[in-house]
Amino acid sequence: MIKTPKTNLTTTQYILCGFFIVIFVGSLLLSLPVSSASGVSVPYLDALFMSATSTCVTGLVTMPTITTWSLFGQVVILVLIQIGGLGVITILSALMLSLHKKFGIRDRLLIQDSFNLTSLSGLVRFTKNVLVGTLVIEGVGALLYMTVFVPDFGAKGIWISVFNSVSAFCNAGIDIVSEASLCAYALDPIVNFTTCMLIILGGIGYFVWWDVIRVLKNVRQRRARTFQSLTLHSKIVLCTTLILIIAGTIGILAFEYNNPQTIGSYTLAEKIEVSLFQSVTTRTAGFATIPQENLTSGASVLCLFLMFIGGSPTGTAGGIKTVTIAVITVSIISTVRNKEEVVLFNRNIARQAVSKAVAVTGISFFTMFASTVMLSAVTDASALDIVFETVSATATVGLSRNLTPYLGAVGKIIIIATMYLGRVGPISLAIAFNSKKRSPNVIKNPTEDISIG
C-alpha cells in the first residue's frame, strides 16, 4: 500500500506534491558534478529548469542536452521523463506491483485521479496494461531507431535510440542526437515515421489503445464493425487527432512552401514529409526537424493553435486536449443553431462535460496569458517569440523560437512555474486548493437572466 500520512490533503494534492518532490530531487541530482559532462556543477537554476522540463515532459532547455550532461546526468533525465510521462502515482503503483503489495482504497483513488478516471473498478489491471504497453511500444521504437542511429553513432546509438524512444513516447521532445534536435534527419523516413508513431501513440491516451484492441478482436471474430463499435471517447479522440494532423500538415505546407529557410528547396514529397512531422510534433512533442525561429508568421500562429490543443486525455501529452476542443467546438455550433443539446456521433454530451471543457480551456488560457505578460516584462524579445515560448510551456510542448537559452533568471523561474502548471493541469490545481466544502443542504440563490454578447 502507498503510505500516506493522515492529513486533510486530497488525492489531487498528493499528485501535485508528488510531481514537486520529483522535480526537486531531480534538480539536486542534476546539480551534482557527476551529472555534468565537464565535471563541474551546472548552476542550480539550470539544473532545476532541466529537472522541471524533464518531469513535466516539456522539452524546453536552457543548455544543450547532448553536450551539457554526462551519461549519469542523461540517465537521471531519462528517468525523470519516464516518471513525468507515466505519472508519479503510476510509477509508485509499478513498485507496489513488483513487490506484490495489495492496493487499498487510497491507492485506487490516487490512480483514479492521476489518470482522470471516472470509476474505481479495474484500476490495478489498467495500471498493469499501461506499464506493459508502454514498455512494448518504447522497446519497438528503440529498435526502429537503432537501424539509423547505430550505423551513425556506433554502440552509442543504442543509448541514443532508447533515450529518444522514451522521450518521444512521453511527448518530452528532449534528445541527445545533436544541439539542433532532429534537423539532420529531417528527410530520414525511419526517424520521421518512428518519432511520429511514438508521439501519436503516447498522445492519444491509454483508453483508446485498449478500446481499439477490443474492437479489432471483435471484428476478427465477426462480432462487430470497427468504427461503430468504438466508445464515444475513442471516436472523438481518433477523429479530432486525424483532423488536426491533416489540417496542420496542409496549413504548414501552404505557409512554408516557398520559405527557403525551412522547406522551400525541398521536393513536394519532402515538403509534405517535413510538414507532417511539424504538425505531429506541435501536439506537445517538441522535436524539431526545421528551426522554429525560421517559420513564417502564419505557420508560427498555426503551431500556437496546435500546441495549445495538444494531445488526448489519459495520455502522455499536454495541452487542453482533443476531447476538450471537440466538445467546445460542438457546443459553440449548438449555441449558434439555438439547440439545447450538445451532440457528438449521435450521443448527447453531458452539461458537466461541457462546463469542464470551458473551465480547462479558460484556466489554461489564463495561465498562458499571465505567463506571457510576466515574461514580456523581463525579456527583451519579439511578442511572437514570447507567446510561442509560453504556449509551449503551458501545453508542455518544448518547441522554441530559440528564446529559452537566452532567458534570464526571472524568465527561467516563470517558465518553470508555467511548465509545472501545464503538466499537473490548471483545472486540477484549482480543484486541489479549493478547500471549501459545500453543504448538501445549502440554500440556492435565485436565478436571473443576463445579456451575453
Please give the full DSSP string across 43-96, using - where no structure is assigned: PHHHHHHHHHHHHTT----SS-HHHHB-HHHHHHHHHHHHHHHH-HHHHHHHHH
pLDDT (tens digit per residue) in 53-86: 999 999 999 999 999 999 999 999 999 999 988 8
26-28-31 Cα angle (round to 5): 105
Residue 435 has what pLDDT?
Answer: 46
Identify the H or E element spanning 348.
Answer: strand 347-348
pLDDT range class, residue 280, cuts 50, 70, 90: very high
All cell numbers assigned to 275: 510538414
pLDDT > 90: percent of the chain: 65
Q: How far apart are CA 70 and CA 380, in angstroms?
A: 32
440 contact partners, CB below 8 Å, separation of at least 6 = none
Q: Largest Cα–Cα distance of the chain, in whole Å?
A: 72
Q: Does position 257 have pLDDT exceeding 60, yes or no?
A: yes
Least trusted range by pLDDT, from 54-63, 246-255, 334-343, 402-411: 334-343
Q: Would you say residue 395 lies in a domain?
A: yes
Q: Does position 116 have pLDDT exceeding 70, yes or no?
A: no
User: Count of residues for the chain?
Assistant: 453
338 contact partners, CB below 8 Å, separation of at least 6 = none
Interhelix angle 409-424/11-30, rounded to 10 degrees, is: 140
Residue 108 has what pLDDT?
Answer: 65
Q: Would you say residue 443 lies in a domain?
A: no
Q: Does position 168 have pLDDT exceeding 70, yes or no?
A: yes
CA-based torsion, 110, 116, 121, 125: positive or negative: negative
Least trusted range by pLDDT, from 11-20, 148-157, 315-324, 326-335: 11-20
Question: Residue 394 in contact with residue 284, Cβ under 8 Å?
Answer: no
Least trusted range by pLDDT, from 279-283, 289-293, 313-317: 313-317
Q: Does position 376 have pLDDT exceeding 60, yes or no?
A: yes
Q: Would you say residue 285 lies in a domain?
A: yes
56-57-58 Cα angle (round to 5): 90
Of residues 384 and 86, the one with the higher pLDDT is: 384
Identify the H or E element spanning 347.
Answer: strand 347-348
Q: Would you say residue 318 lies in a domain?
A: yes
Question: Residue 321 in contact with residue 311, Cβ under 8 Å?
Answer: yes
Least trusted range by pLDDT, from 21-35, 109-123, 174-188, 253-267: 109-123
Mean pLDDT of the chain: 87
Average pLDDT of the residues in 249-257: 97
Q: Would you say residue 182 lies in a domain?
A: yes
Question: Residue 164 in contact with residue 121, Cβ under 8 Å?
Answer: no
Q: How far apart are CA 3 and CA 11, in angstroms?
A: 13
Long-range contacts, 30-35 (Cβ 8 Å, 24+) = 30/69, 30/73, 30/76, 30/77, 34/70, 34/72, 34/73, 35/69, 35/70, 35/72, 35/73, 35/76
Q: Does position 222 have pLDDT exceeding 50, yes or no?
A: yes
**φ and ψ at 298, to 5 degrees?**
-60, -45
Of residues 102 and 6, the one with the higher pLDDT is: 102
pLDDT range class, residue 426, cuts 50, 70, 90: low
Highest mean pLDDT: which range of 225-234, 278-287, 289-298: 289-298
Residue 92 has what pLDDT?
Answer: 63
Residue 291 has what pLDDT?
Answer: 95
Residue 125 has what pLDDT?
Answer: 77
Residue 4 has what pLDDT?
Answer: 47
pLDDT > 70: percent of the chain: 84
Q: What pTM was estimated for this model as a whole?
A: 0.90
Interhelix angle 232-256/322-336, rounded to 10 degrees, is: 90
Q: Would you say residue 174 lies in a domain?
A: yes
Residue 85 has what pLDDT?
Answer: 85
Least trusted range by pLDDT, from 57-66, 295-304, 354-363, 442-451: 442-451
pLDDT range class, residue 87, cuts 50, 70, 90: confident
- Domain span at 421: 11-431
pLDDT range class, residue 349, cuts 50, 70, 90: very high
Q: Would you say residue 237 lies in a domain?
A: yes
Of residues 75 and 429, the one with the higher pLDDT is: 75
Q: How far apart are CA 23 and CA 49, in angstroms?
A: 9
- HSE (CB half, 13 Å, CA atoms) of 264? 9
CA-based torsion, 332, 338, 344, 347: positive or negative: positive
Residue 129, Cβ density class (10 Å: 0-12 exposed, 13-18 middle, ≥19 buried): middle
Residue 445 has what pLDDT?
Answer: 76
Of residues 77 and 4, the one with the higher pLDDT is: 77
Q: How far apart are CA 64 and CA 393, in angstroms?
A: 17
Average pLDDT of the residues in 271-284: 94
Q: Would you say residue 29 lies in a domain?
A: yes
Q: How far apart are CA 253 and CA 277, in angstroms?
A: 11
Q: Does position 416 have pLDDT exceeding 50, yes or no?
A: yes
Residue 221 has what pLDDT?
Answer: 73
Residue 2 has what pLDDT?
Answer: 47
Residue 450 has what pLDDT?
Answer: 72
**262 closest CA partner among 278, 242, 244, 247:** 278
Number of domains in the chain: 1
